[in-house]
């Protein structure tokens, strides 16, 4: 066909679209309408006719210049529908994610100091430590160790045969204009039959309700703001940039999307950061510059703790606890939608000996003006407000994630592999009375402040199964001094990616209706090698060699669990 006929067809489509839009806005004029309304309608129709004539002239001019009419028609259509697009994109789009899950959790060979030693902290000298000075207690503990009088911890099993949870999320997004959009998520996560929001503390950071895990772990039936941020997009020459500010999408990052049966849930690699925090990011798209598919660089900044707001020492001259700041980058080295490589590096200054939050402590430790320690049992289960007392050092971590999908000819299997590294540089011992008594600092005890390197490996394979199901097998290992910030990992046992030891996991995901409704059946087995997984305080001790002094808080040796969940997502 001749180009003239094609242009005529395109013009007809544009005219029809404009005419329909016009009548939808104006409404059909009934015969009974007043004469002035009819005259006004005629004027508007005349104006529309002149507009179409102008558009036809422009199309004819473009034809002579050899420019694609299809491209120009799309551009005109975009301008004609600008008002409609603006109205639609200003609205917030909502999505719901609701998961109900049943778990059976079993702890094996849990180690805990015997009651005789624990009671010694509540008795006065010489039989106990209550009322003694720090030096006297430390000398007594050292003497017991030297004489071989430190009792062995009690070893027992603990089971929770069935525990149910419900996790509700409301996702929000809006496109305000081509350069600006908004993202957010409200979340509530609770254990069936429990809405207190504050847990009894057995020694894990997951048992403290604080800013980094409020909606990622079960904390009552309260709805929390997990995410709220904006993105501003602009092109800097051939480099698209994206600036974002607010409460970050910093949880459930790659490669957790396989087990979650979803798209990537966050920006940082989950191997080193799975943590709710506030901050900013600046992203540069480098694909057009380097010619490497998917290449991009994101600079990230966050605040982990604010020292001069809401604490007992805030706005006082005696405040010695600095804010915790974090900086890092995420480099997409390569991504062709089949194979990708991502490098994530992070550095945190002035890590604190804890976080501001709420928990129920088994006993309270205080020091009077004479440096005498007082231990008070929390027999009433009263809630304690925790706050950091010391900046204990700096932390670095890096992780490389490699992912690939084998083609359909090779069974369409997904594979991922992520080696990681962490480095801790302690600066001083904690001034918290309890930690100071044990001489604990950043991965150190007894005042021995040494830099440490830790290592981790995370790998997995996901296999396609009949009826569009997926079978996943995952494995991770962490060394003695491995430490990351993954306390918001969705786990009732504890972050598996923080484990100093090994964790095995297998799961089967069966879609019922696409990815909108699916069930997941799986199990995990934790085999810890060293104490303190996920905790920055104290020298890790080989679990088999742990004494009663190492187990004032419960030490988990092994744990296994089975889970079954049903998720609806739309």
- Please report which confidence band the pLDDT of residue 547 belongs to, taking 50, 70 and 90 as the band edges: very high
Asked if 276 and 215 count as a contact pair (C-beta separation under 8 A), the reply is: yes
pLDDT at 88: 53
Best CA proximity match to 268, nearest among 415, 423, 486, 481 = 486
- Rounded distance between C-alpha atoms, residue 6 and residue 305, angstroms: 64
- Rounded distance between C-alpha atoms, residue 282 and residue 245, angstroms: 9
Does residue 237 sit in helix, strand or coil? Answer: coil
- Rounded distance between C-alpha atoms, residue 278 and residue 269, angstroms: 17
Asked if 19 and 48 count as a contact pair (C-beta separation under 8 A), the reply is: yes
Asked if 251 and 275 count as a contact pair (C-beta separation under 8 A), the reply is: yes
* Residue 382: Cβ within 10 Å count: 9
pLDDT at 475: 98
Beta-bridged to residue 402, according to DSSP, are 341, 417
- Rounded distance between C-alpha atoms, residue 349 and residue 146, angstroms: 37
- Rounded distance between C-alpha atoms, residue 507 and residue 261, angstroms: 11
Q: What is the pLDDT of residues 102-129, one digit of tens each?
A: 999 999 999 999 999 999 999 999 889 9
- Rounded distance between C-alpha atoms, residue 170 and residue 190, angstroms: 15
Instruction: Examine the pLDDT at 510 and tell me if it is beyond 90.
Output: yes
**φ and ψ at residue 202, rounded to 5 degrees:** -105, 5
**φ and ψ at residue 346, rounded to 5 degrees:** -145, 145
DSSP 544: G
Largest CA distance in the chain: 110
pLDDT at 411: 84
Q: What is the pLDDT of residues 44-60, one digit of tens each?
A: 677 667 767 776 776 66
Domains within the chain, CATH numbers bracketed? 3-80 (no CATH), 93-569 (2.40.160.10)
Instruction: Examine the pLDDT at 524 and tell me if it is beyond 50.
Output: yes
Whole-structure pTM value: 0.84
Q: What is the CA radius of gyration of the chain?
A: 31
pLDDT at 353: 94
DSSP 150: P
From residue 519, alpha-carbon distances to 252, 293, 470, 511, 562 in Å are 19, 35, 11, 6, 14
Q: What is the pLDDT of residues 273-310, one digit of tens each?
A: 999 999 999 999 999 999 999 999 999 999 999 999 98
Q: What is the pLDDT of residues 349-400, one digit of tens each?
A: 999 999 899 999 999 999 998 999 999 999 999 999 999 999 999 999 999 9
């Amino acid at each position: 066909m001749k180009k003239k006929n094609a242009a005529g067809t395109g013009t007809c489509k544009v005219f029809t679209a404009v005419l329909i839009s016009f009548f939808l806005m104006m409404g059909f004029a009934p015969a009974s309408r007043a004469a002035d309304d009819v005259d006004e309608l005629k004027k508007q129709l005349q104006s529309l006719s002149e507009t179409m004539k102008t558009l036809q002239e422009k199309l004819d001019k473009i034809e002579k210049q050899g420019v694609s009419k299809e491209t120009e028609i799309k551009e005109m259509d975009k301008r004609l529908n600008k008002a409609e697009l603006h109205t639609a994109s200003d609205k917030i789009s909502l999505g719901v994610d609701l998961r109900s899950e049943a778990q059976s959790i079993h702890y094996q060979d849990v180690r805990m100091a015997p009651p005789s030693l624990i009671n010694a902290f509540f008795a006065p000298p010489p039989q106990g430590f209550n009322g003694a000075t720090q030096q006297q207690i430390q000398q007594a503990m050292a003497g017991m160790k030297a004489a071989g009088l430190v009792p062995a911890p009690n070893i027992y099993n603990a089971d929770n045969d069935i525990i149910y949870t419900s996790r509700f999320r409301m996702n929000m997004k809006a496109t305000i204009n081509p350069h600006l959009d908004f993202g957010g998520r409200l979340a509530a996560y609770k254990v069936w039959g429990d809405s207190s929001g504050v847990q009894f503390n057995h020694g894990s950071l997951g048992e403290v309700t604080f800013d980094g895990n409020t909606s990622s772990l079960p904390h009552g039936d309260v709805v929390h703001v997990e995410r709220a941020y904006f993105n501003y997009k602009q092109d800097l020459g051939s480099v698209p940039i994206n600036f974002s500010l607010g409460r970050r999408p910093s949880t459930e990052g790659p490669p957790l999307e396989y087990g979650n049966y979803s798209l990537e849930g966050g920006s940082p690699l989950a191997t080193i950061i799975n943590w709710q925090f506030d901050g900013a990011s600046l992203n540069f798209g480098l694909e057009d510059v380097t010619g490497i598919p998917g290449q991009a660089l994101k600079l990230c900044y966050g605040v982990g703790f604010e020292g001069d707001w809401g604490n007992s020492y805030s706005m006082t001259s005696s405040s010695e606890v600095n804010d915790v700041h974090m900086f890092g980058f995420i480099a997409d080295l390569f991504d062709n939608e089949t194979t990708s490589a991502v490098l994530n590096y992070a550095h945190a200054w002035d890590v604190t000996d804890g976080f501001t939050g709420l928990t129920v402590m088994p006993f309270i430790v205080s020091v009077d003006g004479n440096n005498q320690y007082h231990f008070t049992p929390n027999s009433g289960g009263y809630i304690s407000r925790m706050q950091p007392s010391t900046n204990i050092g700096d932390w670095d971590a890096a992780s490389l994630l490699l992912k690939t999908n084998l083609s359909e000819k090779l069974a369409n299997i997904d594979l991922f592999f992520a080696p990681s590294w962490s480095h801790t540089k302690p600066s001083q011992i904690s001034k918290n009375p309890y930690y100071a008594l044990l001489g604990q600092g950043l991965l150190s005890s007894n005042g021995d402040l040494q830099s440490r390197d830790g290592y981790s490996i995370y790998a997995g394979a996901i296999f396609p199964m009949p009826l569009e199901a997926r079978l996943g097998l995952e494995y991770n290992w962490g060394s003695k001094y491995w430490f990351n910030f993954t306390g918001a990992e969705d786990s009732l046992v504890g972050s598996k990616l923080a484990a100093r030891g090994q964790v095995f996991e297998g799961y089967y995901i069966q879609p019922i209706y696409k990815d909108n409704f699916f069930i997941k059946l799986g199990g995990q087995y934790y085999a810890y090698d060293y104490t303190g997984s996920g905790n920055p305080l104290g020298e890790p001790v080989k679990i088999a060699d742990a004494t009663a002094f190492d187990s004032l808080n419960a030490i988990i040796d092994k744990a296994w669990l089975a889970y079954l969940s049903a998720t609806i997502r739309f």
